[in-house]
Structure 1
């Protein structure tokens, strides 16, 4: 079979079958794409583009090793097709093979020097390798070829911010709302984005955009905005309402666009640092969140009943939200915290939420464990619990921000190439002085990190 492909009982041209396979993958119909890819491979196992697309489908279905095998074979058969190393660059990145990713990325731009996507993929690899000047340079190359490429602008922003080049970074960060995943984050309105000039009371709408952690981090700037625009309206997720309500100077909090009222300008919460001119040397202080005393007493009494006397209480979060774009890099298994569990002088207090709480069922270690996760209703509960522990140990998730914003001592474990807000080569954070940072020393390698956390307790 050379120019046609059989699908079911129908024989269709190969070009149509390839288009269908690509479309199914793009439409996230991955089971159908897998079935079609396997049938096409059975008929034409040496066809490079079938191999390449079948590799992408395998990768999307979580079969990374098979994806790499198929895509490497395609590249070997057709070494001058620029698309193949360009996509391999991203698959290698997902597999943690950064040297191979860099090689593929460089080969892609060598074969197609006018392909903005190839430069963007290379920028991503340089970020993962903490080669931030190169990440910016490759982002700039992508932007030269496509001035309206939001992902390249945003990657440039993250590299600049991680490097501590805040003023430049905030400007590129403004492109985040042109990303596909940002659709619906801002209200449909003809009102302008706030430019930092004074407005009458109640006429500024502040939007709690992005993740829970971002909103907690940038919430400290609402009082600054309220000095210029008294009683701003805050629109945010219902889960954040109980905790952000503590911030002074807010007029009202709404969770639906139709309740925002007659505002004159709006600003995303994550846009306030740019307007306020925030750099690493002038971050407003933390300690702006405080739990309700009655709730603190309630959880303290519960912990006094459940936790053994005389042991240091260490709260623990080991997993993030699976839908987060970098969750694979930041999330650990509970068992990886074994160096903590070996300490007989501590008691583990889990404040983990979500499905990953189930890992507690397999817990084993000398340190007693109190699992509070199933009883936690919201961020106010988490914040109150943290007042009754000696320290939080956590991955990069919203609980780290809750601890930092309420001045709770915390040990934060970070991947080699972290989120921009944690900066580089430092064990502290200008955003949260109560947090001590423990970083991977090699990409995707947690060995030694938890041991250092345990030794520092």
Structure 2
């Protein structure tokens, strides 16, 4: 290998570690121009492409590497990782078995195979792979943390926490271990520790963007009278709807609050205008005007929220009464139970790190349509977003001809809120519409995946965040049919009771 290529490789690795992937790629491409068939250059180009979520090109680079160096076990292990991200799990296992065959002492290959088995919901099998990785590399923090994830999915929560703590003891700067520990503590109701570890979200491999760092961070709720505080939404629309309840609490301490929220939510957050100045995300902010700032989802930490002190006074959002009246005229005078349904949270093309979770969260139209067999119910689709909305248009007559589809009338969340006010019940997967229904105080049944989001807590069918919510939890990974059958039983009882009024 030429000296210049060695230097370019070493420099690119430093930029990869600094998460400066664009610079690393330029250095590697320069190295490739000097040595087009260098397997190390190709492997690192594959790594950079994968870190940028460009898995298709990552696979091309690693395949080229393996053609040149077919006995490189590390390259086969990397190929297994890429195939996992592409959802090609069986192929990934073949690649990782080949890596283990070629490099039986390479601990990372066993760890990677364990991760693929987790994605395949073979949690128990994955444990032996992590144990093997740890036996080869006793200070392997990532393997301890990944084993913790498998144990959490096996409902062995205390063992999961122990493994996260082992990872942290080995590497106190290993952010993912703190994050996963929070994801075990919060659903168990250990909020005081969980909120602290939840701050690790700012330092993860693919972190959220921390903004307004020129303003002092809000750390306490003491002496807030007259202070100008900037609160900014940081995550998804559902997160914003859920935690916007803290705006009124801040205002009650005498603070002058400015709340930066997604433009899509401004109308439906209108009720908060009496407690804050509500502005759209993207508007220019004069940081010099503020004493403190806080990301929205750090407010539970600032307030020291425990399971017992969750602010759950609902409704804390309002709806447009004129729009509600328009929908009432459209709906007419049916005496049946009126139920809105949302079965898909949509596809976020710009958030590939969420694709796997979203896939587990969403329900196929073929499955949700089983609800149609419940008598005495008028079903209304509140489903927005593709691919689900387009699929409904093309398959409605085939699968659910009686479903009343008002999607074309729902141009923003204020429209959805007004329609929800006309309905007796909302049935929704874990998406922003479920939070909207809860914040409005509407009865909402939440269809919840096996690896539930922390906010719904563990082993509960109710929600202290939303008193009008009922949670239907998958007991087996991927089993939505069992959930829908449980819902049908309860819905039939509710419809029968409604018909007797």
Matches within 5 A, 1:191-270: 191-201=216-226, 203-247=228-272, 249-255=274-280, 256=282, 258-259=284-285, 262-270=289-297
**SS in structure 2 of the partner of residue 313 of structure 1:** strand
Match of 2:475 in 1: 441
Q: Shift in Å at residue 113 of structure 1?
A: 1.7
Q: Shift in Å at residue 147 of structure 1?
A: 1.7
1:279 equivalent in alignment to 2:310: no
Asked whether the equivalents of residues 105 and 121 of structure 1 are also in contact (C-alpha less than 8 Å), the reply is yes
Aligned equivalents of 2:224, 2:218: Cα separation in 1: 12
1:133 equivalent in alignment to 2:187: no
Assess, with a 3 A threshold, how the Cα gap between structure 1 residues 40 and 277 changes in structure 2: closer, same or farther: closer
1:422 to 456, 472, 475: 456
Stretches of structure 1 lacking an aligned partner (at least 5 in a row): 1-6
Asked whether the equivalents of residues 342 and 366 of structure 1 are also in contact (C-alpha less than 8 Å), the reply is no
TM-score (norm 2): 0.83
Root-mean-square deviation (CA), in Å?
2.5
- Cα shift readout 1:65-99 (whole Å, capped 9, x = no counterpart): 21122212322443321010112222222222222
Aligned equivalents of 1:139, 1:117: Cα separation in 2: 9
TM-score (norm 1): 0.90
Assess, with a 3 A threshold, how the Cα gap between structure 1 residues 29 and 293 changes in structure 2: closer, same or farther: closer
Asked whether the equivalents of residues 404 and 432 of structure 1 are also in contact (C-alpha less than 8 Å), the reply is yes
Match of 1:189 in 2: 214
- Cα shift readout 1:377-412 (whole Å, capped 9, x = no counterpart): 111111111111121111111111111111111111
**SS in structure 2 of the partner of residue 447 of structure 1:** helix
**SS in structure 1 of the partner of residue 293 of structure 2:** strand
Match of 2:382 in 1: 351
Asked whether the equivalents of residues 226 and 249 of structure 1 are also in contact (C-alpha less than 8 Å), the reply is no
Asked whether the equivalents of residues 342 and 367 of structure 1 are also in contact (C-alpha less than 8 Å), the reply is no
1:20 equivalent in alignment to 2:51: no
Assess, with a 3 A threshold, how the Cα gap between structure 1 residues 207 and 26 changes in structure 2: closer, same or farther: closer
Aligned equivalents of 1:130, 1:397: Cα separation in 2: 24
Matches within 5 A, 1:60-139: 60-139=85-164
1:171 equivalent in alignment to 2:205: no
Stretches of structure 2 lacking an aligned partner (at least 5 in a row): 1-31, 492-501
Asked whether the equivalents of residues 345 and 367 of structure 1 are also in contact (C-alpha less than 8 Å), the reply is no
Match of 2:496 in 1: none
Match of 2:330 in 1: 302
- Cα shift readout 1:420-442 (whole Å, capped 9, x = no counterpart): 11111111111111111111112
Aligned equivalents of 2:260, 2:152: Cα separation in 1: 33
Aligned equivalents of 1:11, 1:254: Cα separation in 2: 52
Aligned equivalents of 1:113, 1:404: Cα separation in 2: 47
2:444 to 391, 410, 416: 410
Say which is worse superposed, 359-368 or 75-84, in terms of deviation.
359-368
Say which is worse superposed, 98-107 or 354-363, in terms of deviation.
98-107
Match of 1:362 in 2: 395
Count of matched residue pairs: 448
